[in-house]
A and B are shown apart, each in its own frame.
Chain A
Amino acid sequence: DAKTTQPNSMESNEEEPVHLPCNHSTISGTDYIHWYRQLPSQGPEYVIHGLTSNVNNRMASLAIAEDRKSSTLILHRATLRDAAVYYCILEQLTGNQFYFGTGTSLTVIP
């Protein structure tokens, strides 16, 4: 299984940027980096994904280290609705299997 390591929890003040780190030192050249988040009592939802280059979408940005052994999910302006567990996942292209870790629980302080 492709492994990722994330901090168990983080806090952020509302309307400030949040940087959520993820280590994936065993990543292979064809593994995509995915981020999903799970709000309380809901299924996970897609946030962003990338391979080598940094990616931006309306929800967040993904910064990928040059050696691809780590990445950072950036929420530019945290809101209370961003409070969730954020999962960093490596997608192995042999079958699109996702291996979730325990994720980072983000608390947003008003």
Chain B
Amino acid sequence: EAGVAQSPRYKIIEKRQSVAFWCNPISGHATLYWYQQILGQGPKLLIQFQNNGVVDDSQLPKDRFSAERLKGVDSTLKIQPAKLEDSAVYLCASSLDWAGRQFFGPGTRLTVL
């Protein structure tokens, strides 16, 4: 079974630039999550989708972060403009439904200079 795919794996940008991350969940998984993991901390949930609708985006900094999941499959997370404190690993996860085991991708490591 193919796992959660993410790209790119690494990204380096200057502050105030824009960046986008892509996630392809496991086939058939209705729920998709984006997490931010700052070095030395546990992952923090940014946004949760159920199919193509947003379930929870209470911790998403909406002035600069946006996410979409068109057609209820792939998802993109965008940061515009980036700040130094956005340097982190961005993890995508999916689950079969709104409850249960989550499967995580390898993450995208973002460095903002």
Contact = CB atoms under 8 A, between A and B. Distances in A.
Interface string A75-102: 0000000000101000101011111111
Contact of A100 (B40, B44, B106): B44
Contacts of B99: 91, 93, 96
Main SS at interface, chain A: loop
Nearest to A45: B104
Given A43-B91, A95-B48, A100 B98 contact: no
Interface in B83-98: 91, 93, 95, 98
Interface of B: 4, 31, 40-45, 48, 55-56, 91, 93, 95, 98-107
Main SS at interface, chain B: loop
Contacts of A43: 4, 91, 93, 104-107
A36 B104 CA distance: 10
Given A49-B101, A91-B99, A93-B99, A99 B45 contact: yes
